[in-house]
Chains A and B, each alone.
Chain A
Amino acid sequence: MTDVRIDETRTSERAPRIGESAPRPDGIPKVDGSFTFSSDLWHDRMLWGGTLRSPHPSARIRSIDIGPAVAVTGVHAVLTAADVPGNPAYGLEHADQPVLAADVVRYEGEPVAIVAADHPEAVRLALEAIVVDYESTVPLVDPGAAESSDPIHPDGNLIRRIHLRHGDQDVVGEVVVEGTYEVGMQDQAFLGPESGLAVPAEDGGVDLFIATQWLHVDRDQVAACLGLAPELVRLTLAGVGGAFGAREDLSLHAHLCLLALHTRRPVKMVYSREESFHGHVHRHPARMWYRHHADRAGNLLRVEARLLLDGGAYASSSGAVIANATCFAAGPYRIPSADIEGVVVRTNNPPCGAMRGFGAVQTCIGHEAQMDRLAAALDMDPVELRMRNVLASGDRLLTGQVITGTAPVAEVLRTCADHPSAAALSEDPMSLPGGAGRTADPEHVHRGEAIALGFKNLLFSEGFDDFSSALCRLEDGIATITCACAEVGQGFVTLAQQITREVLGVDDVVLTPASTATVGSAGSTSASRQTWMSGGAVQAACEEVRTTLLTRVAAEHGVDPDELVMADGRVMSLAGALDIDLASVTTEPVEADVEFHHAPTSPLDEYGQGDAHVSFAFSAHRAIVDVDRDLGLVKVVELTTSQDVGRVLNPLQAVGQLEGGAAQGVGLAVMEEVQVLDGRIRNASFTDYLVPTALDMPPVEIAALIEEPEPGAPFGAKGIGEPPSISSTAAVVAAIRAATDLELAHVPVRPTDIALAGA
């Protein structure tokens, strides 16, 4: 036992059901400052941990001398690779990333040693005192050269190649357009830095309190590295300060446990912002070549593409990211023929992996630029061209898979395009490009407008057995839900209560802390999957409890269970003869423990064909931008969006996802890029990695939430987290192109790309 307390999430006083704007149950602790984020954890006799990182993107380690660090006052442990008792490496798809580098470092910032001491200053002094003798080697930094270069890792430099071929390969269009596009490395830039607290346990195990997206997959990786049985490593979710994909991989998890087990003291570690930039994966930078073929009428005939993603030093989830990029490379359009090659390689650049949109963001930038190019070549309205080609239910994807669920793409596009704009031209310099810098006057501003359409898969793909587990216990009229779903801000806690209330007709719903110790895996909070998967698990658990209870009550009262309903904290018969207080029939608890699986999928074959995905969600964005062409500065004036959501379960949270996702899209369009030079990050800080402020983000107009219930999804709801980040960037960049008449191949669009174009 430990005295670290992760609070239950209590029901709110109002108890709205499905479809209503229930307020977050964790809202009050989050506004009064009492909510415990992972960096807020504290324990008596706790030590502080720290990490020594490689200053080189590529080097051999000749020797490490920890002696001077051990001698620093207040230091309790200095550990290196030699101290890792179990698997020396971990990874989501391949265990290729060392817990601590032993003989080679493959990226700048790779962990080499860890320290525990009684004060952060002692940790810093100890880290400075460790002597590492590196032999710096020439880093492999060009992804284009990765396959032809000497392997920088025993697993080789090719992480995955998918060569998708679909339909007649000899098709040539009457109109052919070609383009090359480049997307920079984006950082998730969650605000709560990596942090956690490990507490050694009496049984030789360890309790880790951590901010993550998937407790159980972390647990399995950490246990393997520690050489412990999984049940001896217990992970409990601490408050998560945003995630967006950056918490899918391990960061400090194993390090904290190693230090705690070694010192037999609780150890806390909190990354600095600079460290955070080195400590998690980023969105893959992409180089993309496209050739689109169409007939004169604007019907798409064939798409060819070559996609190259830079995976950085370790595989992370690169294999799944390139699969998404490849499968969705051409956008939500009906295309009979395709040749798409997707490649992700290993380099000595920072490791890349999951970020909101997961491969579909990069390709949306490419395919939407191509659609605008094609529209120009055909002298056709860009919306009309898209409308002519949009996917619908029953159509076939490039993977050969037929869409059996909903695909209201035409409606998404039409509602977004038709929505009236409220954007006026401002006179206040603060709202012009350049903002507070007062650089523009209204006469310097050129306005541009454009629309983009995007889509991606929901849930995990390619045959992965994806499931979520939930426990429901109904006792004394109070429902208690236990699910290991990671709440990272998206509002699952709200939804789990809404679902429980809806099914069981109760107001009081308690959510126990998410932990590996109490329940099976909920899977990852990613891939827009938790509403469907953990929502589905909660729904199924509640339904099982309802069935059990109603069967029992029906037997006791000699009525047909189908005649009974649960509502307003009571069990009632439809005929009205029976009306019992729920609490009185649940003094003996009713429980259910379920595992919820989605429909199975298949792997992709050697041609990239197969029913690899479960479901798809579509979105459109229209962007209006003001551009100061002389200085290359951009102000995004307005975003309008429509999205295919299946069904809205909580309108307020839905709006929050659409606005927030769009903000990350705006950031990628005009300012967000991890700048890497010779394998080194040049802007690992919030001073120089810029994310939009309130003066950069425009109002987001929601034109329509298209509600066509998705078969198989709980309440018909599709996940809504990722689409807002997919089409938003493409729309903003297209609007800048419209304002400048420039091709703008690089995203984010930098001031110099506009101001010095043609120079």
Chain B
Amino acid sequence: MSADPYVLRVNGNDHQVPDAHLGESLLWVLRERLGLPGSKNACEEGECGSCSVQIDGELVCSCLVLAAAAVGREVTTIEGLAPDGELADVQRAFVEAGAVQCGFCTPGLLMAVDTLLDELSDDGSVPDDLTVREAISGNLCRCTGYGRILEAVSIAADIRRGESRGDLA
């Protein structure tokens, strides 16, 4: 039942995937074969965003990516958001703002917010409320009602803008 071994590049590291079943999603392989369970499994049909990862910088649902078809792509998961061990700006903001309750949606939301802030940092613009809401509209949260999450995005956007200005100076 197993497919040929393949290699996935995740968070900057190459991972061998031997003995996989061909029908396994990237989400499943990350969680159950590569020891990276940070991406979450809430619906497995692309309707909740809990499994969000970046592939070549784009936000996608890893449950809808065939793992064997992600060969040659650069996959970034929540475990790779702050590779140096420090918390990333969005992670700090989520803790500070009270955006985390049960935490199941949190990794996916962080990937979505990080992607949004990356896109915006290109032109240094401040995200307006509707832009942020649309950017996270694919990430369901059942605990918070989104209020503290929006607050966290605003905090993270400030941090990131501050840092990029610092880089320029």
Contact = CB atoms under 8 A, between A and B. Distances in A.
Interface of A: 21, 23-24, 26-28, 30-37, 39-40, 42, 73, 119-121, 188-193, 239-244, 270, 272-273, 428, 430-431, 436, 488-491, 652-653, 655-656, 659-664, 685-687, 691-695, 697, 699-700
Interface string B87-107: 100011011101011111111
Contact of B102 (A23, A34, A241): A241
Contacts of B48: 191, 686
B128 to A, nearest CB: 10
Interface of B: 1, 21, 23, 28, 31-32, 35-45, 47-48, 50, 77-79, 81-82, 87, 91-92, 94-96, 98, 100-107, 110, 130, 132-134, 136-150
A686 B45 contact: yes
Nearest to B101: A489
A694 B150 contact: yes
A244 to B, nearest CB: 7
A663 B101 CA distance: 14
Contacts, number: 187
Q: Enumerate the 5 nearest inter-chain pairs by beta-carbon distance, A residue then B residue, closest first.
A: A33-B38, A489-B102, A663-B145, A30-B103, A241-B104
B147 A191 contact: no
Contacts of A660: 101, 142-145
Contacts of A27: 94-95, 100
Most buried by B among A244, A655, A660: A660
A32 B142 contact: no
A431 B134 CA distance: 10
23 contacts: A24-B100, A26-B100, A30-B100, A32-B82, A37-B37, A37-B103, A39-B37, A39-B40, A121-B23, A189-B142, A191-B142, A192-B42, A193-B41, A242-B101, A430-B130, A431-B130, A489-B103, A660-B142, A660-B143, A663-B142, A685-B47, A694-B133, A697-B145
Most buried by B among A241, A491, A695: A241
Contact of B142 (A21, A30, A242, A431): A242
Contacts of B140: 191, 686, 691, 693
A695 B101 contact: no
A409 B121 CA distance: 48
Interface residue SS majority, chain B? loop
Given A26-B100, A30-B100, A241-B40, 15 more contacts: A24-B95, A27-B95, A28-B95, A121-B21, A191-B141, A655-B98, A656-B98, A656-B143, A656-B147, A663-B145, A664-B142, A694-B132, A694-B133, A695-B134, A697-B147
B47 A687 contact: yes
B140 to A, nearest CB: 6
Contact of A191 (B95, B102, B148): B102
A36 B40 CA distance: 11
B103 A35 contact: yes
A241 B139 CA distance: 14
A659 B142 CA distance: 10
Nearest to B48: A686
A687 B81 CA distance: 29
A436 B138 CA distance: 12
Contacts of B100: 24, 26-27, 30-31
B146 to A, nearest CB: 5
Contacts of B133: 693-695
A33 B79 contact: yes
A39 B39 CA distance: 11
B72 to A, nearest CB: 24
Contacts of B138: 693
B78 to A, nearest CB: 4
Nearest to A125: B1
A581 to B, nearest CB: 31
A664 B44 CA distance: 22
A48 B150 CA distance: 38
Contact of B98 (A189, A193, A653): A653
B145 to A, nearest CB: 3
A493 to B, nearest CB: 11
A700 B145 contact: yes
Most buried by B among A21, A36, A273, A686: A686
A301 B26 CA distance: 63
A694 B149 CA distance: 9
Contacts of A692: 145
Contacts of B103: 26, 30-31, 35, 37, 239, 241, 489
Nearest to B107: A33
A330 to B, nearest CB: 28
B40 A28 contact: no
Given A31-B95, A191-B50, A686-B45, A42 B32 contact: yes
A649 to B, nearest CB: 14
